[in-house]
Structure 1
């Protein structure tokens, strides 16, 4: 079947996209992972407007032929992406068009819906984002947000809920002794009905659609890094992936595994999920009878090869880089490991 080349104008540069015969502009964009404002999909709401810069299109509703020759960056010929079909190669401009995987950073005022204590010093906080379209929650599994205090101080927390949870945003917040910011955030969450956040942030995220069939997924978390891993697991479950998923949750003492029944529940319900809790310094009074090891060493021990494996790590820079180095001894490439640590605490380049 012949294809008509389609060029979509992005940031003053034409990027060629392939358009199937009789495919609307909106169908082309969404098939290839681009997103734009749209609603009814039949031309009535007129939300999915674009500007034609060059080429010819046939629009079914409202019925009209659109044509601009030659290329005119100042064109005022507009159409509706949901009902307009390219007839020739076209160049278009679409305000607010988002590339595949791109989300927009927003500052939102969220309702504080629930505050629960998961352990002696860790709170599970559930926020409810605004319902309006312009303020809608949009993020990828594994991204984080920043809580913004009234005096503009900020603190970052991984989003513990999956994108599929909709308006509900879950955070796991540890009350850190001696931290003024942490104390102020805990106090505001306990006493205020609303809190301001900036989201989404972070380039370490997981999208189920990008996984290769049978690719093994290793999710490694230390302490409250579990919240980032939780978002990823629940996203993978919602997407019904069948890839092998190994969840490693490491802590110094058993009490730091503050929600131990949740990963056990995942593993009990899904045959492709295996949970590996690891404690490094249990002590005689801990009562821990499970595995005693360092998280990077445990993962290295459990796998003979890391071929066709992807690793997501959430923890301190020391833990993440120890993991990278340990697993490299068995062939894991650094490009197979994803972590926010690489952005905020990069290692010096090797000379």
Structure 2
């Protein structure tokens, strides 16, 4: 017999089997709880527990906080309900109508945009409407390889998904995608996943991206532009060298065409390139420019060290409300 999971304050509920994590059971019920990595490492799925409890199969392998050990919060992506559970998750209403699905897809285009990054466009199987919210990601599986997660970089209205894939040193799957995957190849896509999307508010926005962390930012920016946004948005995009900012011209175009948008590129290894722009860590440029973020929302996508450093400094040094920090870390 399943365990009932009640969501407050939105009066939703679903049933979880003992073999399912709370997040898996929610997905099956068509409900999206907040999450990112889905393996207990990023902490994005940490949720207040009002009553009941969760257990973990391998607690030593995940990143638990004191509040998790005390039972006040839980990691829903790896937690199994041990009794009827009541959790506080008002954000579930933000993704109503978006459900996880798995389907075949066919590669349409693969375009190199730098020495180690390719833009890949995939069309879902005929008859499949792969709906997602700008900022979410999917799992991509190519034949003979394990799944890999990539953020969508476009809007679902375009009829295909656009992914930005960096060939990682020693990365078996990314190497195959960038160097070997052919047009018309059959792949599998599953998703959408993640709760990295622009919240509906009137707060000004700061976006911080490192490397291919630009992909979900591009999707979110296209969504904002299409919707007629007027909220101030400041994008800081960081890379090691100029080629890492592989769509720099697009960002400058956004700034020229939208009075509410500003763009600051930042390089961490700019010596010898004739670079006259900002240098150093990308989040440090934000801290230097915006010492008071108390009225802002901050969205960060990139390596875990980028996300954790940005959250620490934006909250501790710039007075950002931690509830207004949203992230997607490459796990």
**Structure 2-normalised TM-score?**
0.69
Judging changes above 3 Å, is the alpha-carbon distance between structure 1 residues 295 and 100 closer, same or farther for their aligned structure 2 residues? closer
Judging changes above 3 Å, is the alpha-carbon distance between structure 1 residues 309 and 179 closer, same or farther for their aligned structure 2 residues? same
Contact residue 189 and residue 195 of structure 1 kept, 8 A: no
2:283 aligns with 296
Q: Structure 2 CA distance, aligned partners of 1:232 and 1:269?
A: 16
Matches within 5 A, 1:43-62: none
Matches within 5 A, 1:132-143: 132=127, 135-143=128-136
Contact residue 188 and residue 195 of structure 1 kept, 8 A: no
2:304 aligns with 317
Judging changes above 3 Å, is the alpha-carbon distance between structure 1 residues 195 and 271 closer, same or farther for their aligned structure 2 residues? same
Structure 2 portions without partners, runs of 5+? 1-10, 16-30, 32-91
1:128 CA displacement:
1.7
Residues 134-172 of structure 1 deviation map (CA, whole Å, 9 limit, x = unaligned): x21111111001111223511111111123x33121111
Q: Structure 2 CA distance, aligned partners of 1:150 and 1:254?
A: 33
2:154 aligns with 161
Residues 247-290 of structure 1 deviation map (CA, whole Å, 9 limit, x = unaligned): 11011112211111010011110000000101111122x22121
Q: Structure 1 CA distance, aligned partners of 2:180 and 2:140?
A: 10
Matches within 5 A, 1:58-69: none
1:308 CA displacement:
2.1
1:187 CA displacement:
5.0
Contact residue 108 and residue 183 of structure 2 kept, 8 A: no
2:208 aligns with 220
Counterpart of 2:116 (choices 101, 121, 134) is 121
Q: Structure 1 CA distance, aligned partners of 2:287 and 2:144?
A: 45
1:323 CA displacement:
0.8
1:173 aligns with 165
1:101 CA displacement:
1.4
1:306 CA displacement:
1.1
Q: Structure 1 CA distance, aligned partners of 2:250 and 2:303?
A: 23
**Equivalent position SS for 1:189:** coil
2:231 aligns with 243
Q: Structure 2 CA distance, aligned partners of 1:187 and 1:294?
A: 30
1:300 CA displacement:
0.7
1:106 aligns with 101
Matches within 5 A, 1:222-301: 222-284=210-272, 286-301=273-288
**Structure 1-normalised TM-score?**
0.65
1:202 aligns with 194
Question: Are 1:211 and 2:201 matched, yes or no?
Answer: yes
**Equivalent position SS for 2:195:** coil
1:314 CA displacement:
0.4
**Equivalent position SS for 2:182:** helix
2:34 aligns with none
2:326 aligns with 338
Structure 1 portions without partners, runs of 5+? 1-7, 13-33, 35-97, 346-351
1:203 CA displacement:
1.8
Q: Structure 1 CA distance, aligned partners of 2:95 and 2:183?
A: 36
1:312 CA displacement:
0.6
Contact residue 108 and residue 123 of structure 2 kept, 8 A: yes
Report the number of matched residues.
245
Q: Structure 1 CA distance, aligned partners of 2:245 and 2:145?
A: 32
Between 1 and 2, higher relative CO (CA 8 Å, sep ≥ 6) is seen in 2
Residues 302-333 of structure 1 deviation map (CA, whole Å, 9 limit, x = unaligned): 11311221111001111111111211212112
Q: Structure 2 CA distance, aligned partners of 1:181 and 1:9?
A: 39
Contact residue 249 and residue 277 of structure 1 kept, 8 A: yes
Q: Structure 1 CA distance, aligned partners of 2:12 and 2:244?
A: 50
Contact residue 145 and residue 173 of structure 2 kept, 8 A: no
Judging changes above 3 Å, is the alpha-carbon distance between structure 1 residues 199 and 189 closer, same or farther for their aligned structure 2 residues? farther
Q: Structure 2 CA distance, aligned partners of 1:288 and 1:131?
A: 46
